[in-house]
Each structure stands twice: as C-alpha cells, then as structure tokens.
C-alpha cells in the first residue's frame, strides 16, 4: 500500500473543521487503496509559540516524514501553501519523495499591481498591525481590499508567520525538482493564477499539467472525485524521484 502525505493550505478554521473539508477527497483516495496521512500544519492546527519561517516548516515536515515512514519514499500532495512547502522540501530532499502532486500551489510571487500592494499591506501589518487594528474603520478597509479571510481570522503570531511566507518564493527550486509531478489547477482560480500553473509546468521537467473545468482554488473540495481520480491514476503509473543533483 502506498502512502500519501497531504499538506493543506492556509485555512484558519481549526484542525477538525479543516479535516472535515478534506474528508470526501481523502475518502476517495483511500477507496482506491492509498494510505492517507493528513498532516496538521503548525499554526493552522495548533497555536504557534513563536513566529515561524520557511526553514521552521521544512524542519517540521522532515521530522514528520522521518517519524512516520523512516527511510521509505513517500508521495507528497500539497495544496496552496502546502504546495509551496512541498516544492521547497522536494528540492532539498530528493531521496525521500516518490511522487509530487501540486494542487493550485502558491509560491510564485504575482507581480500584478494589486498582488504587490496586497503583499506590501501584509508585510506592514506584520510590523505595525496593532496600531491599525485598534480602529474598526481601518480594519474594514484593509480586509475589503485584501479579501483575505485567512489573514483576518489568524492570530497575531500566525499573521507575522504568513507575512514571512509571502516573502518566500520557490521559483528557483522548480527546475531542481525532477520527480514525477502532477500539477492540478482549477481553471477559474483567482487566488493562484493559471499562469503560475503553466510556469511550474514549464520549469518542472518531469511534470504533467491538467486543469479542472469550472474549478477554482480548491478543486479537491468542489470536484473531489475528479481530482482524486487524477491523483490515483498518476500514482499508479509513476515511481521514483530524483533531482538534477541526484541523477
């Protein structure tokens, strides 16, 4: 039985509610014979005691994989921020991963003007947010522009963590990933643009790209059967993983 690790995205709903959202998709994967390990990402499933950066998340993920599977290769599936983390991890740990699945992954900076402004707002709020958040008027203006419910609902330490992750980019890591990779994207995703999917497909040599018709940022929720079938079919036909440095 193959094991697949799932890394979810920024979903500040609490561990149980987040798992419920994923359960239909997980059920589809398990019905096809996969063992699914749904990882509870620190800061999203439990409070953080300090601000984390990408290195902290990479160390945590490495520990979780070693603890659960030892030296066995695993399948890694990441959605949104989970995809961002997965790409960075695969680039640094090629011998531990069998296949990679990216679902509407983040990690590429969007240089469109609104995205740049939004990212700048988050970085400013991470430093001086207390001043603005004392005023309901300013809070409403900021949230209306940013339209980021995850950021709005996040506790202060997680907001600062999110701002650090927004400042991290995986563009240089993509060409290092040479394992079989499936890129699944909602064709109407407004959170991580379709152009990012094409860029990932271009730079990850051994990759396949498929768009979910009428899907948005989370096709694993809205099109769970279709997305799970794509994942299962991909896993059945692929084995092995290496990066350029491991050839």
Look at residues 21, 58, 55, 59 and name the one whose alpha carbon lies nearest to residue 38. 21
The answer to whether the beta carbons of residues 176 and 139 sit under 8 Å apart is no
Is the domain of 103 the same as that of 216?
yes
Number of domains comprising the chain: 2
Look at residues 80, 90, 73, 103 and name the one whose alpha carbon lies nearest to residue 2. 73
- Who's near 92: CB < 8 A, 6+ residues apart? 58
Residue-level pLDDT at 13: 63
Is the domain of 88 the same as that of 185?
yes
Is the domain of 25 the same as that of 97?
yes
The number of beta carbons lying within 10 Å of the beta carbon of residue 93 is: 17
Rounded to 5°, angle at Cα 75 from 73 and 81: 125
SS3 label, residue 33: coil
For 1, half-sphere exposure in the C-beta direction (CA atoms, 13 angstrom radius) is 12
List the domain range (segments joined by +) for residue 225: 3-108+169-246
Is the domain of 239 the same as that of 143?
no
- Decide: residue 167, CB within 10 A, 0-12 exposed, 13-18 middle, 19+ buried: middle
Is the domain of 161 the same as that of 191?
no
Is the domain of 193 the same as that of 233?
yes
Is the domain of 156 the same as that of 74?
no
pLDDT in tens, the chain (247 residues): 789 999 998 765 666 788 889 999 999 999 999 999 999 888 876 678 899 999 999 999 999 999 887 777 899 999 999 999 999 999 999 989 999 999 999 999 875 544 444 555 555 555 545 444 455 544 444 444 444 555 566 777 887 888 788 778 899 999 999 999 999 999 999 889 999 999 999 999 999 999 999 999 999 999 999 999 999 999 998 854 544 444 4
User: What is the DSSP secondary structure assignment for residue 109, as one 8-state letter?
Assistant: P
Is the domain of 8 the same as that of 76?
yes
Q: CA 203, CA 198: separation in Å to the nearest integer?
A: 9
Residue-level pLDDT at 122: 52
Is the domain of 103 the same as that of 46?
yes
Q: CA 197, CA 27: separation in Å to the nearest integer?
A: 26
Is the domain of 89 the same as that of 173?
yes
Is the domain of 187 the same as that of 67?
yes
Q: What is the pLDDT of residues 59-109, one digit of tens each?
A: 999 999 998 877 778 999 999 999 999 999 999 999 899 999 999 999 998
């Amino acid at each position: 039985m193959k094991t697949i690790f799932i890394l979810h995205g920024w979903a500040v709903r609490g561990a149980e509610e987040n798992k419920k959202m994923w359960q239909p998709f997980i059920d589809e994967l398990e019905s096809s014979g996969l063992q699914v390990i749904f990882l509870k990402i620190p800061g999203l499933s439990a409070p953080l005691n300090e601000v984390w950066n990408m290195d902290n998340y990479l160390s945590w993920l490495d520990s979780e994989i070693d603890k659960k599977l030892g030296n066995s290769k695993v399948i890694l599936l990441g959605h949104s921020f989970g995809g961002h983390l997965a790409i960075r991890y695969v680039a640094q740990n090629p011998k531990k991963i069998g296949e990679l699945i990216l679902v509407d992954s983040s990690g590429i900076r969007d240089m469109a003007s609104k995205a740049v402004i939004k990212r700048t707002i988050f970085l400013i709020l991470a430093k001086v947010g207390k001043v603005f958040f004392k005023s309901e008027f300013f809070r409403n203006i900021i949230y209306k522009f940013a339209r980021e419910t995850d950021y709005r609902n996040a506790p202060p330490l997680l907001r600062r963590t999110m701002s650090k992750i927004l400042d991290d980019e995986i563009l240089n890591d993509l060409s290092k990933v040479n394992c079989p990779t499936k890129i699944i994207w909602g064709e109407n995703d407004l959170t991580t643009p379709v152009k990012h999917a094409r860029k990932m497909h271009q730079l990850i040599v051994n990759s396949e790209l498929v768009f979910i018709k009428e899907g948005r940022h989370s096709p694993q929720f809205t099109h769970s059967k279709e997305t799970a079938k794509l994942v299962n079919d991909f896993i059945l036909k692929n084995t092995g993983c290496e990066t350029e440095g491991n050839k």
